[in-house]
């Protein structure tokens, strides 16, 4: 690992560079040059610094899919590994991706907490628990920065939901703020020294975060953060208040509330020039770290060559898969399976990542169907829709298409101005043109896509297009569609989140190509970056949902075993909005019930980034929670189903039986305010208090072997301020090699301070062969014994230490007296 302090630049040398710049030159550096880059400043040898999302892959400087990127499993999948060593490797691979794409700073990890399961963006955050979040986030940041790339913990602080995110005022008590929401960031800042931090959109207790005193304290003072505070995109809305706060950089640019207005504010004495100088100094310090300032050595001279990204994606997806029910069905033995029915929209078109700014464009995404087929070459593996997870158009795979001009796999894209002149004429690798928005397309009036499509199967299908505008679709020269598609939903990143669509039936013959031509006359747009989307492909909606369920159940009855893949779509889990329900969309619950009734060997894989309700969970043979499994999802799922790999995950967040049981549910502000009235009790802390049983508790997850309760000597005494170090022995009592996550919780049965029933204080991961005992070193930090009361304090006396395998399965208890 690199020594991150040895190469820190001499601040005095940087100050002298700041002194060479005019006020205008300095202020210019404090707003982005465009969407993703900072301004260069040749006067001091500063090149542009490039930022890019994000938490589960690196998108690069374009939204529109021309550049493919590694799509790692969602942060919730990473969190479910409970393994900081894996989080470190995940960060290291992200750094390699960033360097490959010319990106200096990655906008992640997302450190906000799963306060309510309705939070729409939980897939890209880790957990409902601050300790687990902080350990994983810290390791991620170390992995990224050891690779010579900056990390950006975000969104500081309390962007725990998306409803009215620009304006919501989260009302949070001092203790909850310190013990939960700030605690999630603290060790990452103090221990890993991130080079950038992102301030959040929301307000906390009346002040928007880009102007908030919390940027100064505890972030910069107490925690010693010396990097750049970047705004969330468009979050800075003021000149003086934000410039007087410890907000350094306004993104995106080049327009914004600083620029000339800030220069004037300095000239008028409303903002001291020293404040500007300090911000510029921090940008130069960042520039040194990433190697963007001439004459200074970067923080990491020789970044390590990364490991194989797709292989890591596969490993993480399996290591984060949580087996929550198994009636002895899993693992499957390949020998005993003559046929498997893969059922569900997501079995064929899985969700490998959440929506919004965390999205990247993978070169491929392995479906459960493909994964199982590859793993079971001698078994008949068929797919049946059963039920839709989301309505819309499933894009044709690029490999089934040929660009008629270049002859390469993919499509020809032509954009024309209002007078018919060609603005753009280029090859695209597939028909998923979900984000065409960009300044160079500002004057596009018509988008045309042509391709030759080679069907793999014979029979009737519906070919369709999603987008907004006046649509014409021709197949082999025959007009199939001519209609107006009107968009009323969300736009994001130059695309439409849920574009309207239309489709028409055609009869295809396997192996006989058809020529597809699409023309979309665009409606007036809101601005040059406003959404242009054109997706051409198949509409899986046959309009006969009962018949689809019946057909899937019949297929399951005829197969040896069934795998049903259910989950959420981008209308449910994305950025900019929260969820309205935890129920699975569409008829997916009916589908699972029908398949389970038809075949007792029904296994369900839940492809959702955050909790959903599973009302049939006790009626199926096995349930795997797979999160958004990244581009290698199908292979990882097959690995777990066949027992090649242990389902290594444990829940980073509680899964409820019912919405009515969830202690903290609402994400909807009233009169602009969202009160965090539950104080220090969110997640399992609140569930334990309420006494209601969730479907699956925090920390829970089964494996394919069995374990004896953990054994550890718990010392009876500890000095206040010391960490408690435990050596825990874990014996694998089963017949297979396996992984276990031992968890330590603290409680305080008698004490003067109000506390949760118990709280996570430490965890460690072991693997052991059959009959073997493994030992884990488990560190409970001194902070776990402390509470916030204007300062961190330790209440002396007896704490109980509970050891076990989930927040609800704690077999071993000992008492430690704190002096």
Q: Which residues bind ligand BGC (CB under 6 A)?
A: 53-54, 107, 154, 232-233, 357
Exposure class string for 13-24: b at 16+ Cβ within 10 A, else e = ebeebbeebeee
CA–CA distance from 600 to each of 302, 557, 594, 620, 643 (Å)? 55, 9, 11, 7, 20
SS3 (DSSP) at 1: coil
| 232 labelled catalytic | yes
C-beta closer to ligand BGC: residue 155 or 755: 155
Is residue 615 exposed (0-12), middle (13-18) or buried (19+ Cβ within 10 Å)?
middle
C-beta closer to ligand BGC: residue 108 or 306: 108
Instruction: Give the integer Cα–Cα distance in Å for 494 and 63.
Output: 7
**For residue 41, what are its two tokens?**
């400043």
Q: Which residues, 6 or more positions from 668, have their beta carbon under 8 angstroms from its beta carbon?
A: 163, 578, 674
**Smallest separation, CB 56 to ligand BGC (Å):** 12
**Smallest separation, CB 492 to ligand BGC (Å):** 8
| Sheet strand arrangement including 105-106 | 51-52, 105-106, 150-151
Instruction: Give the integer Cα–Cα distance in Å for 9 and 569.
Output: 46
Exposure class string for 265-295: b at 16+ Cβ within 10 A, else e = bbeeeebeeebbbebbbbbbbbbbbbbbbee
**Smallest separation, CB 36 to ligand BGC (Å):** 8
Q: Which residues, 6 or more positions from 434, have their beta carbon under 8 angstroms from its beta carbon?
A: 65, 495, 496, 533, 535
**For residue 531, what are its two tokens?**
């959404």
Range list of β-strands (E), 430-560: 432-433, 446-453, 459-467, 469-475, 478-485, 491-492, 495-496, 501-508, 514-521, 534-539
**Smallest separation, CB 200 to ligand BGC (Å):** 8
Instruction: Give the integer Cα–Cα distance in Å for 816 and 189.
Output: 29
C-beta closer to ligand BGC: residue 94 or 318: 94
C-beta closer to ligand BGC: residue 233 or 792: 233
**Smallest separation, CB 328 to ligand BGC (Å):** 43
396: left (phi over 0), alpha (psi -120 to 50) or beta: beta
**Smallest separation, CB 98 to ligand BGC (Å):** 14
**Number of residue whose CB is nearest ligand BGC:** 357
**Smallest separation, CB 222 to ligand BGC (Å):** 25
C-beta closer to ligand BGC: residue 194 or 634: 194
**Smallest separation, CB 579 to ligand BGC (Å):** 17
Helix, strand, coil content of the chain in percent (nearest 5): 25, 25, 50
**Contacts made by residues 332-337, CB under 8 angstroms, sequence distance 24+:** 332/561, 332/641, 332/642, 332/643, 333/642, 333/643, 334/375, 334/376, 334/378, 334/379, 334/642, 336/560, 337/376, 337/379, 337/560, 337/561
C-beta closer to ligand BGC: residue 531 or 703: 531
**Smallest separation, CB 102 to ligand BGC (Å):** 17
- Cβ–Cβ under 8 Å, residues 308 and 72: no
**Smallest separation, CB 95 to ligand BGC (Å):** 17
SS3 (DSSP) at 459: strand
CB atoms closer than 10 angstroms to residue 657: 16
Instruction: Give the integer Cα–Cα distance in Å for 277 and 253.
Output: 20
Instruction: Give the integer Cα–Cα distance in Å for 594 and 585.
Output: 16
C-beta closer to ligand BGC: residue 357 or 450: 357
The residues that bridge with 775 in the sheet, in sequence order, are 729
**Smallest separation, CB 357 to ligand BGC (Å):** 3
**Smallest separation, CB 54 to ligand BGC (Å):** 6
C-beta closer to ligand BGC: residue 52 or 626: 52
**Smallest separation, CB 154 to ligand BGC (Å):** 6
Instruction: Give the integer Cα–Cα distance in Å for 23 and 256.
Output: 17
Measured in whole angstroms, the distance separating CA 416 from the mean position of its chain's CA atoms is: 36
C-beta closer to ligand BGC: residue 109 or 130: 109
C-beta closer to ligand BGC: residue 107 or 612: 107
Q: Which of 64, 160, 187, 232 is catalytic?
A: 232
C-beta closer to ligand BGC: residue 54 or 73: 54
Instruction: Give the integer Cα–Cα distance in Å for 678 and 336.
Output: 51
In 3D, which of 151, 156, 243 has the Cα closest to residue 196?
Answer: 151
* 168 sits in which H/E element: none
SS3 (DSSP) at 453: strand
C-beta closer to ligand BGC: residue 58 or 341: 58
The CA angle 144-631-605, to the nearest 5 degrees, is 115
C-beta closer to ligand BGC: residue 31 or 503: 31
Return the DSSP state at 617: G
Catalytic site residues?
232
């Amino acid at each position: 690992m690199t020594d991150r302090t040895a190469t820190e630049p001499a601040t005095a040398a940087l100050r002298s560079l700041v002194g060479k710049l005019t006020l205008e030159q300095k202020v210019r550096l404090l707003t982005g040059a465009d969407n993703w880059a900072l301004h260069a400043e040749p006067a001091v040898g500063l090149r542009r610094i490039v930022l890019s999302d994000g938490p589960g892959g690196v998108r690069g400087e374009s939204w529109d899919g021309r550049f493919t990127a590694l799509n790692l499993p969602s942060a919730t999948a990473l969190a479910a590994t409970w393994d900081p060593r894996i989080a470190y490797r995940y960060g290291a691979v992200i750094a390699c991706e960033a360097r490959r794409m010319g990106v200096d700073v990655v906008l992640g990890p997302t450190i906000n907490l799963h306060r309510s399961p309705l939070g729409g963006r939980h897939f890209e955050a880790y957990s409902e628990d601050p300790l687990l979040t902080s350990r994983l986030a810290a390791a991620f940041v170390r992995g990224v920065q050891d690779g010579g790339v900056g990390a950006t913990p975000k969104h500081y602080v309390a962007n725990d939901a998306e409803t009215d995110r620009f304006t919501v005022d989260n009302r949070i008590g001092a203790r909850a703020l310190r013990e939960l929401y700030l605690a999630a960031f603290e060790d990452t800042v103090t221990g890993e020294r991130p080079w950038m931090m992102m301030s959040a959109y929301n307000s906390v207790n009346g002040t928007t975060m880009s102007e908030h005193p919390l940027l100064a304290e505890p972030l910069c003072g107490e925690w010693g953060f010396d990097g750049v505070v970047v705004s969330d995109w468009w979050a800075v809305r003021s000149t003086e208040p934000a410039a007087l706060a410890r907000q350094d950089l306004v993104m995106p640019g080049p327009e914004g509330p600083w620029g000339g207005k800030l220069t004037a504010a300095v000239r008028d004495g409303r903002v001291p020039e020293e404040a500007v100088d300090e911000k510029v100094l921090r940008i130069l310090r960042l520039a040194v770290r990433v190697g963007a300032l001439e004459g200074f050595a970067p923080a990491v001279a020789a970044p390590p060559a990364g490991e194989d990204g797709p292989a890591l994606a596969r490993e993480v997806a399996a290591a984060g898969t949580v087996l929550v029910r198994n009636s002895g069905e899993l693992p499957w033995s390949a020998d005993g399976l003559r046929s498997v029915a893969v059922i569900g929209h997501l079995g064929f078109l899985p969700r490998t990542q959440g929506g919004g700014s965390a999205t990247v464009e993978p070169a491929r995404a392995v479906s459960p169907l493909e994964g199982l087929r590859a793993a079971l070459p001698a078994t008949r593996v068929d797919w049946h829709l059963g039920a839709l997870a989301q309505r819309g158009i499933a894009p044709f795979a690029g490999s089934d298409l040929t660009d008629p001009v270049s002859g390469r796999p993919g499509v020809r894209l032509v954009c024309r101005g209002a007078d018919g002149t060609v603005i753009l004429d280029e090859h695209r690798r597939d028909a998923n043109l979900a984000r065409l928005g960009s300044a160079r397309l500002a004057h596009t009036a018509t988008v045309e896509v042509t391709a030759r499509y080679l069907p793999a199967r014979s029979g009737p299908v519906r070919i369709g297009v999603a987008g907004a505008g006046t649509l014409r679709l021709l197949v082999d020269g025959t007009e199939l569609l001519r209609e107006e598609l009107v968009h009323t939903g969300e736009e994001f990143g130059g695309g439409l989140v849920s574009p309207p669509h239309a489709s028409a039936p055609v009869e295809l013959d396997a192996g006989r190509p058809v020529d597809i031509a699409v023309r979309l006359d665009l409606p007036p747009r809101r601005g040059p970056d406003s959404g242009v989307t054109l997706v051409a492909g198949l509409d899986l909606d046959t309009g006969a949902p009962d018949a689809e369920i019946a057909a899937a159940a019949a297929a399951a009855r005829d197969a040896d075993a069934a795998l049903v893949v259910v989950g959420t779509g981008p209308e449910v889990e994305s950025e900019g909005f929260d969820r309205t329900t935890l129920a699975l969309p569409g008829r997916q619950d009916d589908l699972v019930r029908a398949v389970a009734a038809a075949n007792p060997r029904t296994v369900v894989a839940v492809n959702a980034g955050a909790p959903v309700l599973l009302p049939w969970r006790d009626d199926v043979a096995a349930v795997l929670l797979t999160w958004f499994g990244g581009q290698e999802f199908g292979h990882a799922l097959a690995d777990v189903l066949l027992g090649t790999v242990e389902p290594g995950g444990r829940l980073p967040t509680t899964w409820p039986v019912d919405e009515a049981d969830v202690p903290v549910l609402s994400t909807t502000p009233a009169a602009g305010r969202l009160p965090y009235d539950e104080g220090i009790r969110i997640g399992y802390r609140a569930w334990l208090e309420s006494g209601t049983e969730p479907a699956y508790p925090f920390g829970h997850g089964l494996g394919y072997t069995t374990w004896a309760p953990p054994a550890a000597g718990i010392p009876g005494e500890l000095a206040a301020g010391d960490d408690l170090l435990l050596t825990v022995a874990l014996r694998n009592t089963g017949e297979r090699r396996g992984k276990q996550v031992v968890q330590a919780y603290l409680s305080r049965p008698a004490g003067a301070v109000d506390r949760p029933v118990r709280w996570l204080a430490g965890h460690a991961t072991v693997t052991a062969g059959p009959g073997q005992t493994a030992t884990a070193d488990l560190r409970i930090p001194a902070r776990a014994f402390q509470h916030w009361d204007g300062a961190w304090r330790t209440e002396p006396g007896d704490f109980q230490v509970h050891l076990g395998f989930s927040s609800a399965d704690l077999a071993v208890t000992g008492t430690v007296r704190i002096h």
